[in-house]
Structure 1
Amino acid sequence: MEFLVDFGYLGLFVAAFLAATILPLSSELVLTALLLNDLSPEMLVLVATVGNVLGSLTNYGLGYWASKGIIQKWLKMSEKEFVKAEERFEKYGLMSLLFAWVPIIGDPLTVIAGILRVNLIWFIVLVSLGKFLRYYILASMIISG
């Protein structure tokens, strides 16, 4: 993680992008370290949001173009778990994309959105809003605390 902090904004972008995939990486730790190093909070929130949304778009693309079998293997989901995930997405609808930032459920959620061919504009708007709010709130808490 320290390696990414050394690269400042670029390191945060990489951490945020990779954290939106199935890789176990915490962009929040990099964001926190950079905020404590007095980098611009506004720029950090913007960079983290853009990187994380692009990572989610990668997941969407995988869901859109890859086969269901490959997706299940990649997400390590059984057929039953996969069907449940699709049902949950359909039950809660597009607004569930506001929670694409939530650990464990966020990455599969963005892949399922691709599989279900969710409108790309709505996907980008909702995922971006949720991820921006998360980083904004986190940065505000760190700065004020």
Structure 2
Amino acid sequence: MSDALALFSLFSGSFLSATLLPGNSEALLVALLLAEKSSPLMLVAVATLGNSLGGATNFILGRLFPLRTQSRWRERAQGWLQRFGPAALLLSWAPVVGDLLCLLAGWLRLAWGPALFFLCLGKALRYALVAAITLQGISWWH
């Protein structure tokens, strides 16, 4: 596999993993790190970009759902997100829950800037941690 195809595969896999579709972008990142297809920084950046855009897609989709004025579920969700604010999107990387958090943040009309900042930060930290553990494991075995 060429380096360009590897990066495109990582981007695509990371994007799809951030939507409600199943995927495992971490496994792909680890495989590409082990194959040394690109620099670790480039691989983490591409995975973060793809996954962040997927999370932003969920955020946008959430905005498409109409707000109801009298919804018990909305009041609970809004109370929880008001307590933690956009910083709750640091957990946007978590399987299943992260996708729902992004949808919910859009549905509740959280401010774009802070929401996208925390969404991207959470995803970047996750991929950086996966890469660091992988690279540390490689150096440990050698």
Q: Which TM class, normalised by the smaller chain length?
A: 0.7 to 0.9
Aligned ranges 1:59-74 → 2 under 5 Å: 59-67=58-66
Residue 87 of structure 1: how far off its partner (Å): 3.9
Q: Deviations over 1:1-33 (max 9, x none)?
A: xx9x99300000001000001111000011011
* TM-aligned CA distance change 1:19 to 1:80, over 3 Å: farther
Determine the structure 2 residue equivalent to 1:112. Answer: 104
* Structure 1 Cα separation of the partners of residues 22 and 78 of structure 2: 23
What amino acid maps onto 1:129 in structure 2?
Answer: L
Residue 67 of structure 1: how far off its partner (Å): 3.9
Structure with bigger gyration radius:
2
Q: 1:16 aligns with which of 14, 17, 25?
A: 14
* Structure 1 Cα separation of the partners of residues 73 and 35 of structure 2: 42
Determine the structure 1 residue equivalent to 2:49. Answer: 50
Q: Deviations over 1:87-108 (max 9, x none)?
A: 4323322211111001121000
Q: 1:132 aligns with which of 117, 124, 127?
A: 124
Residue 80 of structure 1: how far off its partner (Å): 6.9
Q: Where do 5+ consecutive residues of structure 1 fail to align?
A: 70-78
* Structure 1 Cα separation of the partners of residues 9 and 27 of structure 2: 11
Q: 1:98 aligns with which of 71, 90, 101?
A: 90
Determine the structure 2 residue equivalent to 1:31. Answer: 29
Instruction: Work out whether residues 22 and 107 of structure 1, in 8 Å CA contact, stay in contact via their aligned partners in 2.
Output: yes
* Structure 1 Cα separation of the partners of residues 124 and 92 of structure 2: 11
* Structure 2 Cα separation of the partners of residues 21 and 83 of structure 1: 25
What amino acid maps onto 1:21 in structure 2?
Answer: T
Instruction: Work out whether residues 89 and 109 of structure 1, in 8 Å CA contact, stay in contact via their aligned partners in 2.
Output: no
Q: TM-score, normalised by structure 2?
A: 0.83
Residue 82 of structure 1: how far off its partner (Å): 6.4
* Structure 2 Cα separation of the partners of residues 24 and 82 of structure 1: 26
Residue 127 of structure 1: how far off its partner (Å): 0.8
Q: Deviations over 1:35-91 (max 9, x none)?
A: 01112100000000000000011001101123469xxxxxxxxx8766644443233
Residue 144 of structure 1: how far off its partner (Å): 1.1
